[in-house]
Amino acid sequence: MSHHDVFNGDADGICALHQLRLAAPRDSQLVTGTKRDIELLARVAAQPGDSVTVLDVSLDRNRAGLLRLLAQGVAVEYFDHHFAGVIPRHAGLTAHIDPAPGECTSTIVDRHLRGRHRLWAIVAAFGDHLEPAAARLAQEAGLAQRQADLLRELGQAINYNAYGETEADLLLRPADLYRALQPFADPFDFVAGHDAPRRLGQARRDDLALAHGTPPVWHGDAGSVTVLPDAAWARRVQGEFANELAARAPERAHALLCQTKGGWRVSVRAPLARPRGADELCRRFPGGGGRAEAAGVDLLPREGLGEFIDAFARAFPAAP
C-alpha cells in the first residue's frame, strides 16, 4: 500500500502539507503543479488499499477523480477552503473543508493540529493574501513585527513561484520547493539556511516592477481590468500583482488577465473592504472558480474579453 500527497503548488498548499508531514512524517508520492493546475486527482494512480491526502484544490473541480478513488477503495483525507459544492458522503472520505472568508487550507490544518506548527500557517496566510488572519496568528504566536514581516516576505515569495502557464515558467518546480523546505521545522531557519527565499524574493520584486508599468485596459468607479503581455514574467507575477493592487486600493476590485494560448488566464480580487463576489463572477465562465475574496478563470476565450469586463463591472458596482 502506498500514500499520495496531492497539493496545490502555491504557499498555502505547500505549507499545509509541510505542517501535516512535520506532525506525521510518512513517505509519499507527490502530485502537484502550478497554481492553476487544479484537477490533480485525475493524475493519482492509486490502488485499492492506498491512501491519499488532498490539500488546497477544489473538491468541486476534482469530484470525478475523488469519486473514482473512493470507488476503488482508496481512503481520502481532504483539506481545503475553496467552493466544494455537495461533499460526498462516503466512509472512505474524511473532509476538513471551510470556505469561510479569512480561512486558507493552512489555517484549517493549523486547527486540525492544534497549532503545533503554526509558523508555517502564518507563512501560508501571508502568502495567500489573508493579512488580517496572518497578523492575528502572528500576534498570538508572540512574534515581533520584524519576524512577522520576514514570514510575510517568505509567504509572498513561495506564492509567487506557483504562477505560470506550465512549470517551465516557474523558477522552481513546486515539488522541488516543497522538498527544499521539508528539512526545516522553523521557517526562520529556512530563510537563513537556504537560497530559495532570497532568489524568489528578488525575482518577485523584479517582475512586479515590470507589471506596474502596464496600464489598465478598463478603469471604472469601483475596479479595473489590466491585461499583461504574453511573457513568462507576466505569467509568474499575475497573482502577486493582483494581490498588491488589492492591498493598495482596498475599496476597489481588480482583474488581471494574462495572454495565453487561445485566450486569457484571469485572476480576480474582490475589494478587501468587501471581500466577496470573486468566486461567483469567475464561476460564470468555464474553468472558473476560487473563493469569495480571490478567484480566477483558467482559460477565457480571446473573444470573451468584452463579456468578462461587462460581468466584472456588474459584479463590483460603485458603492451607492
Residues 196, 228 share a domain = no
CATH code for the domain in which residue 46 is found: 3.90.1640
Same domain, 175 and 216: no
Evaluate whether residue 320 is within a structural domain. Answer: no
DSSP string of 289-319? Answer: EE-SSEEEEEEEEGGGHHHHHHHHHHHSPPP
Angle between helices 118-127 and 145-160 (to 10 degrees): 60
111: left (phi over 0), alpha (psi -120 to 50) or beta: alpha
Q: Note the pLDDT of residue 260.
A: 83
Dist. CA 87–CA 66, nearest whole Å:
10
Q: Report residue 185 as a C-alpha cell.
A: 521545522
In a domain, 141, yes or no: yes
Query: In this predicted structure, what is the pLDDT of residue 291?
Result: 86
Q: Count how many domains the chain has.
A: 2
Say yes or no: 196 and 221 in one domain: no
Q: Are the C-beta atoms of 164 and 232 separated by less than 8 Å?
A: yes
Does one domain contain both 195 and 218?
no
Whether residues 184 and 107 fall in one domain: yes
Q: Enter the pTM of the model.
A: 0.86
d(CA 78, CA 98) in angstroms, rounded, equals 11
Q: Which of 154, 174, 201 is the last residue of a domain?
A: 201
Note down pLDDT in tens along the chain; length 320 residues. 899 999 999 999 999 999 999 999 999 999 999 998 999 999 999 999 999 999 999 999 999 999 999 999 999 999 999 989 999 999 999 999 999 989 999 999 999 999 999 999 999 999 998 999 999 999 999 999 999 999 999 999 999 999 988 999 999 999 999 999 999 999 999 999 999 999 999 999 999 999 999 999 999 999 999 999 999 999 999 988 998 999 899 999 999 999 888 899 999 999 999 999 999 999 999 989 888 889 999 899 999 999 999 999 999 998 76
Give the integer Cα–Cα distance in Å for 22 and 1. Answer: 21
Check whether residue 87 and residue 174 sit in a common domain: yes
Q: Are 55 and 113 part of one and the same domain?
A: yes
Residues 6+ apart with CB under 8 A from 61: 38, 39, 82, 289
My answer on whether 190 and 217 are in the same domain is no
In a domain, 98, yes or no: yes
Same-domain check for residues 228 and 267:
yes
Residue 278 lies in a domain: yes
Return the biggest CA–CA distance within the chain. 59
Our CA angle for 152, 154, 158, nearest 5°, is 120
- The answer to the question of residue 206 being in a domain is no
- The string of DSSP letters for 188-255 reads HHHHHH-SHHHHHHHHHHHHHHHHTT---SEE-SSEEEEEE-SSHHHHHHHHHHHHHHHHH-TTSEEE
- Segments forming the whole domain that contains residue 251: 212-315
In sequence order, the 6+-apart residues with CB closer than 8 A to the CB of 71 are: none
Grid-cell match 468541486, residue found: 60
Residue 51 domain-assigned?
yes
User: Are 248 and 132 in a shared domain?
Assistant: no
Q: What is the pLDDT of residue 236?
A: 92
The residue among 150, 182, 201 that closes a domain is: 201
Contact 124, 15 (CB under 8 A): yes
pLDDT at 239: 87
| Distance separating alpha carbons of residues 108 and 19, to the nearest angstrom | 11
